[in-house]
A = this chain, B = another copy of it.
Amino acid sequence: MAVKKNGAQTVQFDNPPILLASGSVVGPKEGEGPLRDYFDIVLSDDLYGEKSWELAESKMLRESVKKAVEKANLSIENIEYMFSGDLLNQLMSASFAARDLAIPFFGLYGACSTLTESLSLGAMLIDGGYADYIVAATSSHFSSAERQFRFPLEQGTQRAPTSQWTVTGAGAAILGAYGDGPKITHVTTGKVIDFGIKDPNNMGAAMAPAAVDTILTHFQDTGLGPEDYDLIVTGDLASIGKEIAEEMMLDKGYNIAKVYNDCGLMVYDTKTQNTYAGGSGCGCSAVVFCGYIHQEMIKKNLNRILLVSTGALMSPTSSQQGESIPSIAHAVAISND
């Protein structure tokens, strides 16, 4: 049974769920980035043989799940729950993938925090004995996100220098009650934090306070600190948000700089790939985790990580109504020990 103090936001598992395998599918641009050799499938065309970017995104999500299941030596029928979400309105990508896969489905919306939201809930269901195997999967697509959240690509609108580049990619991770692999030891569930940032082209700044709140809470709840991790990695704060998060943590007495990185800065070479502040999207932490980090943990090059996917919960409607951007971050601690 899980250990949890009443009122704290962190669960520590007695039977830590095992990250058995991950699958990843990325677009052409991500396939040219520094992590290119870690992805299972790199697309040469971001339509992936479909008639719309939305359907292409859904296919990426579905194929990442199939790849993860295959790498775990399981079949789809073994997977008892699918926890999944994406950035599209009404979760078009996840809903259509879940239809094709026919796995009992919990649809989640945490914007770009969805990977750790799904891993958190999945881990509790495994530790609690409700399932032997679950899949946590999420996706985003540059072209479907641009036209939904910003402007149609055909319009050729100029980008702000603080803007981020939505990752075209899907990642899926299989959690099991048995087997070999790194283990989820803790989950820290975030609150919605809003420091009043209203610029949807500066999401890193909006999300940084949420990441800081969750990382601080994780440290306070567990007694752990930066020295206990090889890598603390946020989802998609990118260059501006990462700097803010580092400074805010320092103000609170924690120097995380030595072990801290952000998936949005890892997935692209921001100097040569013209991605402005860096990557973003549900797919950002999904492909960096399911591609790079999980494999490096299996190779024991990384042994203790804190994965903190970060979500900006604004909608085009809320932005148009002049509202600020509520943000959230969920943390998952993963260990080889």
Interface residue tally for chain A (C-beta within 8 Å)? 62
Answer yes or no: A102 CB below 8 A from chain B CBs. yes
- Closest Cβ of chain B to A94, distance in Å, is 8
Pair A313/B90 contact, Cβ less than 8 Å: yes
How many whole Å from A103's CB to the nearest CB in chain B?
A: 7
> Is residue A292 contacting chain B, with contact meaning CB distance below 8 A?
no
Smallest beta-carbon distance A313→chain B, Å: 4
Name the contact of A6 in the complex, choosing from B80, B89, B92 (C-beta under 8 A). B80
B130 touches A2 (CB 8 A): yes
Q: Which of A's residues lie within 8 Å of B, judged by CB?
A: 1-2, 4, 6-7, 9, 11, 51-52, 54-55, 77, 80-81, 85, 88-92, 95-96, 98-99, 102-111, 117, 120-121, 124-125, 127-132, 148, 189-194, 313-318, 321, 323, 326, 328
Supposing A80-B7, A89-B316 touch, asked if A321 and B52 sit within 8 A by C-beta, the answer is yes
Alpha-carbon distance A51/B323, docked complex (angstroms): 11
Which one of B55, B91, B124, B132 contacts A124 once the chains associate, using CB atoms below 8 Å? B124
On whether A117 and B109 interact (CB within 8 A), knowing A4-B130, A4-B131, the answer reads no
- Selected A-B contacts with CB under 8 Å, 7 pairs: A1-B129, A4-B130, A55-B321, A90-B111, A95-B313, A99-B194, A124-B130
**18 other contacts beyond A4-B131, A85-B109, A96-B318, with CB at 8 A cut-off?**
A2-B129, A6-B80, A7-B77, A7-B80, A11-B130, A54-B317, A89-B315, A89-B316, A90-B111, A91-B313, A92-B315, A99-B193, A99-B194, A105-B189, A105-B328, A106-B121, A124-B128, A148-B317
